[in-house]
Structure 1
Amino acid sequence: MKPHVALIAHDQKKDDIVKLAGEFRATLSRCTLLATGTTGARIASAHGLEIERMLSGPHGGDLQIGARLAEGRVDMVIFLRDPMTPQPHEPDINALVRACDVHNVPCATNISTARMILDGLTSRLAHSVSA
């Protein structure tokens, strides 16, 4: 079964997540991807990945992903947050990160952790092919 990966980024981190998706394009192409609106559009446009797009974060996209996560339909979250800019939907962001903790779902909120999670996913997928 394909891993379900959620991709989210605040405005100041969108270039970073697009670049990250390019670095891990081969791995992400073997996953079921979902993302908040603009983030998903930018990644799909840049790398040709198929991504189910939710609403934008401030319009409820974080909550939509959180609901899927609570239903067991998200295996990992890459959420590149901008810690220096206040977000109007901060309670939604906190709820999503908390849901990751409650449901034991890996959640990367910065590039370094995202790379570690995606490296692990790459390795896991490689082993599943050779097994």
Structure 2
Amino acid sequence: MKISLIAHDEKKPEIIQFAVSYKHILKQHDLYATGTTGKRIAEATGLSVHRFKSGPLGGDQQIGAKIAENEMDLVIFLKDPLTAQPHEPDISALGRLSDVYQIPLVTNLAGAEIMIRALDTGLLDWREIVKEDE
């Protein structure tokens, strides 16, 4: 599966720890991330991560384009709800595209852990089955 990993600045330590903790699962998938998040995950885990631009410079939109082209299966976006984000319209657009194209989008660590465990047990295989039928 193709998985995007995104985190606001205050949540970067959490997503890095998440990637380290679930490296054994993530290594089986194609990973994508926005700029600094992808760099830090790759450095901490040794995993291959395709990096887009940082979120404020268009990285969120690049991931949104992948969703619109049916080239993304899961988005883990650890958002900081307590800090205003200057690129909030891009973040909202990413959520809207995830809803339109039925792509799971989780925005906190608890949701991320549920999704990664579901992925590990095969509960997200419906995306692969749909792609095979197309």
Out of 29, 39, 42, the residue aligned to residue 41 of structure 1 is 39
Q: Deviations over 1:2-45 (max 9, x none)?
A: x0000000000000000001111011000000000000000000
Aligned mate of 2:63, from 65, 76, 94? 65
Match of 1:16 in 2: 14
In structure 1, runs of 5+ residues without a counterpart are none
User: How far has the Cα of 1:124 moved from its partner?
Assistant: 1.2
Tell me the distance in 2 between the aligned counterparts of 1:58 and 1:22: 25
1 CA distance for matches of 2:76 and 2:95? 10
1:93 alignment partner AA: I
- In the alignment of these two chains, the number of paired residues is 124
Q: 2:51 aligns with which of 50, 53, 61?
A: 53
Q: Secondary structure at the match of 2:122?
A: helix
In 2, Cα distance between equivalents of 1:58 and 1:17: 18
Amino acid across the alignment from 2:102: N
Aligned counterpart, 2:91: 93
Q: Give unpaired runs (5+ residues) of structure 2.
A: 126-134
TM-score norm. by structure 2 comes to: 0.91
* TM norm structure 1: 0.93
Distance 1:32 1:89 in 2: 26
In the alignment, the residues of structure 2 paired with residue 107 and residue 98 of structure 1 have an alpha-carbon distance, to the nearest angstrom, of 10
In 2, Cα distance between the equivalents of 1:103 and 1:29?
Answer: 25
